[in-house]
Amino acid sequence: MKKIQISPSILSADFSQLGNEIKRLEEGGADMIHVDVMDGHFVPNLTIGPPVIKNLRNSTKLPFDVHLMISPVHKYIEDYSKAGADIITIHPEATDNLIDSINLIKKLNKKVGVSLNPNTKLDIIDKVLDKIDLVLIMSVFPGFGGQKFMPEVIEKIKSLKKLKEERKLNLDIEVDGGINFENNKIVIQAGANILVSGTTIFKENNGNIKKNIDFLKLV
Ligand code: DX5
Ligand code: ZN
């Protein structure tokens, strides 16, 4: 059983203080930093790109768990690798050739993740499961923090965990969107070992990051 890890999303952070916010997350016990990259095309929101990530890189030694909600994604992968991403997660709908994009991320010696929107079926990644490090299951439609968790994805998490066990894969299962103290346990019991959270970590318990991270890990 993999250790439960927390990847706080900086989408809910104070963007005028991103470096300090990342330091607060590290002090609060974050295992990695979830960086939500949005292009206003693949998703209806625009956030940050490689120059900002490059400047944030020295704020922490924690891995940058970079979630690319951009399309087309293939031609930008190298930019995010150079900027300091440690995990690069892409959406299958955002590339013309998923295998090529996966192989490029691996060639750059980065961990590779594939993200499934709530309405994207597991079978789209069936043939690549043994080639990737992580599956990011979206429990909201991507684009914004603070949305409501979609419980219908729990079956998908369970099915993925079953596939992972049957094929003896060393795969991280990360869940992203609307994670809070009411649903974290059911998501972990379903098979997730990495939880993404923005709103809950930054806003609950008067913004006590350490308390919120510790609570999210409790099963
Ligand atoms: C949504 C992002 C998520 C989101 C999580 O498109 O991918 O990472 O920021 O934020 P909360 O925890 O507020 O749902
Ligand atoms: Zn995300």
Q: Where are the domains of the chain?
A: 5-217
Rounded Cα distance between 213 and 26, Å, is: 11
Instruction: Quote the pLDDT of residue 149.
Output: 98
Distances from the Cα of 134 to the Cα of 24, 58, 102, 148, 212, angstroms: 26, 25, 11, 23, 24
User: Which entry of 31, 36, 133, 172 is annotated as an active-site residue?
Assistant: 36
Whether the CB-CB separation of 179 and 158 falls below 8 Å is answered with: no
Tell me how far the alpha carbon of residue 202 lies from the centroid of ligand 2, in angstroms: 15
Instruction: Quote the pLDDT of residue 212.
Output: 98
Closest C-alpha to ligand 1, atom 1: 142
Q: For ligand 1, pick from 7, 117, 140 the residue to mutate: most ligand atoms within 8 Å of CB.
A: 140
User: Which entry of 31, 65, 172, 176 is annotated as an active-site residue?
Assistant: 176
Whether the CB-CB separation of 117 and 94 falls below 8 Å is answered with: no
Residues having CB closer than 6 A to ligand 1 are 9, 11-12, 34, 36, 67, 140, 142-143, 145-147, 176-179, 196-200
Is 65 annotated in the active site?
A: no
Rounded Cα distance between 208 and 219, Å, is: 19
CATH architecture entry for 5-217:
Alpha-Beta Barrel (3.20)
Cα atoms in the 13 Å half-sphere on the side-chain side of 169: 20
Task: Record the pTM.
Answer: 0.98
Instruction: Quote the pLDDT of residue 2.
Output: 85
Say if residue 72 is preceded by a cis peptide, omega within 30 of 0.
yes
Rounded Cα distance between 148 and 143, Å, is: 13
Question: Residue 27 contacts by C-beta under 8 Å, 6 or more apart in sequence?
Answer: 209, 210
Whether the CB-CB separation of 46 and 15 falls below 8 Å is answered with: no
Instruction: Quote the pLDDT of residue 219.
Output: 85
Q: What is the dihedral of CA 19, 71, 151, 183, to 10 degrees?
A: -10
Share of the chain residues as helix, strand and coil, in percent rounded to the nearest 5: 45, 20, 35
The two three-digit tokens of residue 43, written as one number: 């998703």
The pLDDT profile of the chain, 219 residues, written as one tens digit per residue, is 789 999 999 999 999 999 999 999 999 999 999 999 999 999 999 999 999 999 999 999 999 999 999 999 999 999 999 999 999 999 999 999 999 999 999 999 999 999 999 999 999 999 999 999 999 999 999 999 999 999 999 999 999 999 999 999 999 999 999 999 999 999 999 999 999 999 999 999 999 999 999 999 988
